[in-house]
Chain A
Amino acid sequence: MTEPTHTSHSARAQFVSGRTVENLIVKGHLDLSRLTNLETLPEVLEADSLDLSHCTSLKKLPARLHVRRLVVNGCTALEALPTGLKCSEVDARNTALRTLPADLSVKFRLNLENCTELVTLPAGLKVGSLIVRGCTALESLPEKLDVCFLDISGCVKLTRFPVSGQVRFGHLLARGCVQLASLPGWLTDLSQLDVRDCANLTQLPGALRVSSWLEMAGSGLQFLPMTMQDVQLRWRGVPISRQIAFQPETIAPQSILDEPNAELRRVMLERVGYEAFLKQTTYQVLDRDRDAGGERNLLRVEFADDEPLVCVSVFCPSTGRQYLIRVPPAMQTCHQAVAWIAGFTNPNEYHPLLET
């Protein structure tokens, strides 16, 4: 690095006062965050690390930018990073980036969370941790992607993985990737895998090993590959057994009533289903009435050291089916419970003319 032209403090003062700064060289960290009127920066900018977070008018970064760590989080007008950028970390969350330079080099962490305009990533992207969580326009990941930690949660348009690539040692967090129907065969070693709410994902690659845990609530997984027979399974963070995960129909209602862990008991109830559970359990009918659809019942099951299960059974006119919906335990009438489901805390205000 050449001789510093400013301290972090004096550089910031120049920008605050609106003066033009040429060739900005700072030793250490440069904090220019929240300068909401800042539109441009000098063509040459060097610092150990640079914080430009929430500079909401900033459209362009310097062509000759030399920083180890770059923070442009919340630079909502920023559409591109300069070519030739080489950093240890880039935090570009909540920006308007659409693409990244093909020669971008980031060593540790590239955070692109909530870059909702982002459509592609450069081929051969290699970085320790890649976070594209909430990048809702991203349809694919680049060929020859090479990362250790990958977070693609909430990438709702993502349909497939590249033909070749690596995600190794670390985690793959893919929560809510609803279009994802498969994971690639080259995926072999992970510490953690989160496929929660990946409803279209029905199986995992045959050679995949996961050393710490697999989060699978709401996924389409029906079984596990042989390599994963002893992985810890989680359902919304609660460790669960193979039986709860894959054979919930074999869970005896009494074992739910006897389960001392309230978190686990709730997962068991959810997996078994309220209808199936109530069919085999003693319950109390708190209230019974009729509406346009037919008979309604408010049912209650006591638990030893937890709030009771209270459900209202209703008949749905549009589907012609009976539904059982859990409601708060203090509900006393069917009408009150149905009003609560419709969003009314005061049941006296709930008078539906017609239910569809």
Chain B
Amino acid sequence: MTIGEHTSVFGGKSVVDWTPGTPLTNPEDTCFRITLWYEASEKGEEWTDLLAKFLEDPAAGRVYGIVVGSWSDMWEDAAIPGLEALVAARDQLTSLKALFLADVTFEECEISWIQQTDVTPLLEAYPHLEHFGVRGGQNLSFGKISHRHLKSLTIEAGGLGVEVVRAVLAADFPELEHLELWLGTQWYGATTELVDLAPLFTGRLFPKLKYLGLKNSDLSDVIATAIADSPLLERLEVLDLSMGTLGDEGAAALARSPAVKNLELLDLHHHYCSDEMMEKLQGLGIEVDVEGQESGTSEHRYVEVGE
């Protein structure tokens, strides 16, 4: 499986494709996706040309969100020019609350090929940003960040380096409610081990966290087992271990945990649990998503999005 469709909602608002030359409508409630299409790229246009045109709209200062789409040869050209231009545009995008970097499908660029960069300058330049998301783990990095307003952070990767995970867990995000990490698989660069996630499970980080997604991981079983008995689980509303390699072992630990019953949603879709275990999970008395049952022994399990 890969990512076949563009994001339709981000930061709680709908995402629409922006067409150069058309005025921005309803900017306060819209995320605009700015994509450099292949044809324009072939004619010599660059993603930053599009952003320059976007900023010429008098409503740019009221725009809620920007979703950065494809920027031509994303497997060769890093996100750096686009990122630097967005940082330079901070004086004009004065209402920006939501920013997503690299909303691209596998047809535009496989997730593991996207050349990311150090995204810290974006978070520093937009101190009022509330929703930040990024796709692609290659060369992605975060520095030491303190951000007073960030409510949701989403990092989607086929394989996420442990340095990124450590930087996120070391960050100061007092308002963070939604943390979504696609850890990915070791075959595409995932290097996180269970011990690296331990600070999270203590429950001492991110006092307002309601949603935790440790998704698309080939560590799903051990993560589920560790989190089932963790103090963190008691204050979550949604636990999302979907898209990974969860089997009966991890699922059983969750099913045994009294704290699981306080969740509003347990999302486990794309998993390797048995029929009996699925039945047990569905009997927990909370909403449990066990769609997408896969089959495979523990040695032959795959995350949903790798390459």
- Which A residues form the contact surface with B (CB < 8 A)? 8, 28-29, 31, 48-49, 51, 68-69, 88-89, 107-109, 127-129, 148-149, 168-171, 189, 191-192, 210-213, 230-232
Contacts and interface: CB of A to CB of B under 8 A. Distances in A.
A191 B84 contact: no
A150 to B, nearest CB: 11
Given A128-B88, A148-B88, A169 B124 contact: yes
25 contacts: A8-B44, A51-B44, A68-B52, A88-B51, A89-B52, A107-B89, A108-B48, A108-B85, A109-B81, A109-B85, A128-B84, A128-B88, A129-B88, A148-B87, A168-B124, A169-B90, A169-B121, A170-B84, A171-B121, A189-B124, A191-B120, A191-B121, A191-B143, A210-B143, A230-B144
Nearest to A30: B44
A168 B81 CA distance: 16
Contacts of B87: 128, 148-149, 169-170
Contacts of B81: 108-109
Given A69-B52, A148-B88, A169-B124, 6 more contacts: A168-B124, A169-B121, A191-B120, A191-B124, A191-B143, A212-B143
A31 B44 contact: yes
A67 to B, nearest CB: 10
Leading 9 A-B pairs by shortest Cβ distance: A128-B88, A212-B143, A211-B143, A29-B44, A88-B52, A108-B85, A169-B125, A191-B120, A169-B124
B57 interface: no
A169 B48 CA distance: 19
B120 A129 contact: no
A29 to B, nearest CB: 4
Contacts of B46: 49, 69
B48 A88 contact: yes
Given A49-B49, A69-B49, A231 B43 contact: no
A192 B83 CA distance: 14
A127 B88 contact: yes
A148 B84 contact: yes
Which of B44, B118, B125 is most buried by chain A, counting CB atoms within 10 A of its CB? Answer: B44
A232 B163 CA distance: 11
Nearest to B53: A68
A275 B144 CA distance: 37
Contact of A89 (B43, B48, B145): B48
Main secondary structure of the interface of B (DSSP, over half): helix
B43 A29 contact: yes
B105 interface: no
Interface string B93-131: 000000000000000000000000010110011000000
B42 to A, nearest CB: 10
A332 B118 CA distance: 46
Nearest to A71: B44
Contacts of A127: 88
Given A148-B84, A191-B143, A212-B118, A108 B52 contact: yes
Interface in B37-55: 43-46, 48-49, 51-53, 55
A82 B280 CA distance: 74
Contacts of B90: 169
A212 B88 contact: no
Contacts of B143: 191-192, 210-213, 232
B252 to A, nearest CB: 37
Nearest to A88: B52
Which of B52, B53, B90, B121 is most buried by chain A, counting CB atoms within 10 A of its CB? Answer: B121
A211 B167 CA distance: 11
Nearest to A48: B49
Contacts of A49: 44-46, 49
A190 to B, nearest CB: 9
Nearest to A230: B144
Interface in B159-183: none
Contacts of A8: 43-44
Contacts of A192: 118, 143
A212 B85 CA distance: 19
Nearest to B167: A212
B124 A129 contact: no
Contact of B144 (A28, A31, A211): A211
